[in-house]
Amino acid sequence: MNSGANKDTVIADFQQWCSENDVWLDDRLEIIYSPDADIHIRTKNQSISASTTVSYIPKRSILSTKSCSLAETLPQDAEYTHGLGAQLMLALALYKEQLLGSKSRWHGYLQSLPDFVDLPMLWQDGCKDAKEAVTWLVGTEVEKEMSVGSLLARARRFYEAMSRQFLPQDASVGGFTKAFTLVSSRAFIVDAYHGLSMVPIADAFNHSQDNHVHIETDFDVCPLCGALYECPHDDGPKLETHVGQNHYDSCYEMVVNSPIPRHSEVFNTYGETLGNAALLARYGFVLDVNENDCITWSMEELTDDADLAATFQLAAYEWESEKSLRPRCESSNLVYYSESFTVDGDGKVSHRLWLLCFLTYQRNAPSSPSPMSVLEAQIACEAGMDVDASLIPAVSAIASAVSTLCCTRKAKIKKLSDLGPDADIGEILDGLSDDRPRTRLAVSYVLTEISILECCLAEWSDLVLPHPS
């Protein structure tokens, strides 16, 4: 959307485009623009009940690498069908349509989009506020999500490799990067044919963890032609075509999963497990409270000992086949069941991270208790009950390893190390004026990570035995 454009006209033109392209939105909903919330969807004066379909979006109206004007010529290599490769290729398709202006068949839709989304990947080359914000993200989950430096560099390399063949002379790397931010913050994977796509109307809903609507698509279509039923590319037994079903031309739907009150904003979900790190990196915003926030480690970050990693794989497989593991994790205040190496927002440690700490202890321990017996002992300790004394050193060693991990992780947040242990980050945030929005966003995100790590340290501290002097 051109920043000087009249927003009412922009939305009216988008609605006109929707009606010309059979994109249908329930009359009880309206598309709103407000300066503080940009475009969003609200109910008018009627509530809407669950299971209602509030939007039909014909497949032919979406913008994908299969439907765009470059579709016949774009490379189809496997690297462009998923992940960053798919995002870059869709950004190329989108940018080409933007450069076509009113000649693009998506013009009415494209003119309603913002020029770009202010994602951290753009901050490195930005103003003082942006540059300062980037320094706060070094060593955080946000940096992991997007590799602050390398994402922009990869987008630029892709542009250099592709632009001459696919884009007109007035194209620029800056324009392509802006298109990439729109793809990052708006595109959905719709089905096995179109893959990652720009979906008009569906992308006008903002995100919430308590979402009202979600997108429904038949993912398993023919990856070669998009057919939902029988097609010439089938190699197995053919499914019959349903009478009256135009399978090349069906719709994606926005369906209500939780009743929507009247006069309220209607939210979609961009992903049920997205924490603030992913939201900031990919969408440029954070939620005030996000129950998915966590600190993560990869195996490589935790150990460079290949034997330990191999022992872990076997031990995890065996332990996870024990039926009692999940319920025992649920009985613990300090451990939760998760097949990743994480600490969650309550300072709980995933059972896999716990197991790796246990195995590290076990390598040097004279006796060999089972992980379950040590977990049981820990749960008893948490409840203040009597515990077999021979298991206490193992419980304490695991708690000590968890504490070391948290301290090391805090030290990895570069800005914290630079400022020293006495720095009050809350005070720094309070001192930042409103004309530093990116730094405020980054510092408030860092506060979330500090609070998770400190919560974990505090929760586990009671289990750490003092070292014998």
Ligand X SMILES: C[S@@+](CC[C@H](N)C(=O)[O-])C[C@H]1O[C@@H](n2cnc3c(N)ncnc32)[C@H](O)[C@@H]1O
Chain residues binding ligand X by CB under 6 A are 38-40, 114, 117, 185-186, 203-204, 206-208, 283-285
Nearer CB in complex with ligand X: 261/271 = 271
Give the shortest CB-271-to-ligand X separation in angstroms: 12
Nearer CB in complex with ligand X: 204/405 = 204
| Count of CB atoms situated within 10 Å of the CB of 246 | 9
CA-to-CA dists, residue 455 to 330, 333, 345, angstroms:
19, 12, 8
Nearer CB in complex with ligand X: 4/168 = 4
Give the shortest CB-260-to-ligand X separation in angstroms: 16
Nearer CB in complex with ligand X: 266/452 = 266
Per the CB < 8 A criterion, the answer to whether 113 and 186 are in contact is yes
Nearer CB in complex with ligand X: 207/414 = 207
The 3 state secondary structure assigned to 118-170 is CCHHHHHHCCHHHHHHHHHHCCCHHHHHHCHHHHHHHHHHHHHHHHHHHCCCC
Distance CA 197, CA 188 (A): 5
Give the shortest CB-207-to-ligand X separation in angstroms: 4
Q: Select from 460, 440, 450, 353 the least CA-distant residue to 140.
A: 450
Which tokens sit at 435?
């004309």
b/e 342-372 (16+ beta carbons within 10 angstroms → b) = bbbbebbbbbbbbbbbbbbbbeeeeeebebe
Tally the C-alpha atoms within 13 A of residue 151's C-alpha that lie toward its C-beta: 23
Distance CA 374, CA 4 (A): 64
Give the shortest CB-93-to-ligand X separation in angstroms: 17
Give the shortest CB-33-to-ligand X separation in angstroms: 7
Nearer CB in complex with ligand X: 148/187 = 187
Nearer CB in complex with ligand X: 204/374 = 204
Nearer CB in complex with ligand X: 207/412 = 207
Give the shortest CB-265-to-ligand X separation in angstroms: 9
Give the shortest CB-227-to-ligand X separation in angstroms: 28
Cβ contacts of residue 211 below 8 Å, gap of 6+?
257, 258, 267, 268, 269
Nearer CB in complex with ligand X: 184/350 = 184
Cβ contacts of residue 230 below 8 Å, gap of 6+?
238, 239, 240, 241
Per the CB < 8 A criterion, the answer to whether 152 and 116 are in contact is no
DSSP string of 169-211, one letter each residue: TT--HHHHHHHHHHHHHH-EE--TTT-EEB-TTGGGSEE-SS-
Give the shortest CB-186-to-ligand X separation in angstroms: 4
Per the CB < 8 A criterion, the answer to whether 461 and 403 are in contact is yes
Give the shortest CB-6-to-ligand X separation in angstroms: 16
Nearer CB in complex with ligand X: 81/208 = 208
Tell me the β-bridge partners of 295.
343
Q: List, edge to edge, every strand of the sheet that includes 206-207.
A: 29-34, 38-43, 265-268, 206-207
Give the shortest CB-155-to-ligand X separation in angstroms: 17
Distance CA 220, CA 110 (A): 28
CA-to-CA dists, residue 26 to 46, 52, 53, 111, angstroms:
11, 10, 8, 22
| Count of CB atoms situated within 10 Å of the CB of 440 | 18
C-beta nearest to ligand X: residue: 38
Nearer CB in complex with ligand X: 256/402 = 256
Give the shortest CB-210-to-ligand X separation in angstroms: 11
